[in-house]
Amino acid sequence: MFEYVTELSLTGTGASRPAGPRRPAEGRQRLLAAAERFLRDACPPGLEIEFKAEHGCAALVFDDKSPYMQAARRAIADAFGAEPVLIREGGSIPVVATFRDVLGVDTLLLGWGQNSDNLHSPNERFTLADFHRGTRASAHLWGELGASRSK
């Protein structure tokens, strides 16, 4: 008779994106603690679970009335042929908060894809038409930013 011992490792990740000016470290710690309690309670004997928080940043809300945001709106309207719709959407780009806090500069975050592009999924897509419109909007943006600085 033979006995086999198999070691299995499973890794999972999770992300949370707080909206508005919140304290991400505090929220991340509470979320991680709740997830850990839930999974440890459901964990069968003989399995080990390890949890760790890797990175994060404070949530940012940009001033949609700033001259830079107005320049971006004009550039997008020129390139896409329609006024942009401003939405609050989550994302994890920690260096944006660093640019603001350390350098004192704001960042424009502009997306050219559509809701139907299935962002970060196995069947993600980005149309060539949106690529060209985004390229035109980026080119227009330089002129709009230059014009807004000279006012």
Of 143 and 86, the one with more pLDDT: 143
The per-residue pLDDT of the chain, averaged, comes to 83
Task: Kindly state the average pLDDT of the residues 89-116.
Answer: 84
The CA–CA distances, whole Å, from 136 to 64, 81, 111 equal 21, 11, 13
Exposed/middle/buried for residue 34 (C-beta within 10 Å: 0-12, 13-18, 19+): exposed
Of 23 and 80, the one with more pLDDT: 80
How is the chain split into domains, by residue range? 1-59, 67-149
Q: Count CB neighbours of 17 within 10 A.
A: 12
Does the structure show a pLDDT above 90 at 144?
yes
Tens digit of pLDDT for each residue in 59-86?
777 888 999 999 999 999 999 999 998 8
The CA–CA distances, whole Å, from 118 to 40, 81, 92, 123, 124 equal 32, 23, 17, 7, 5
Using pLDDT thresholds of 50, 70 and 90, give the confidence band for residue 151.
low
Residue identified by tokens 């502009």 is 110
% of the chain residues with pLDDT over 70: 85
Query: Which amino acid would we find at residue 75?
Result: A
- What dotted CATH number matches 67-149? 1.10.150
Torsion of CA 37, 19, 121, 31, to 10 degrees: -10
Query: Which amino acid would we find at residue 29?
Result: Q
Q: How many angstroms separate the CA atoms of 80 and 112, rounded?
A: 10
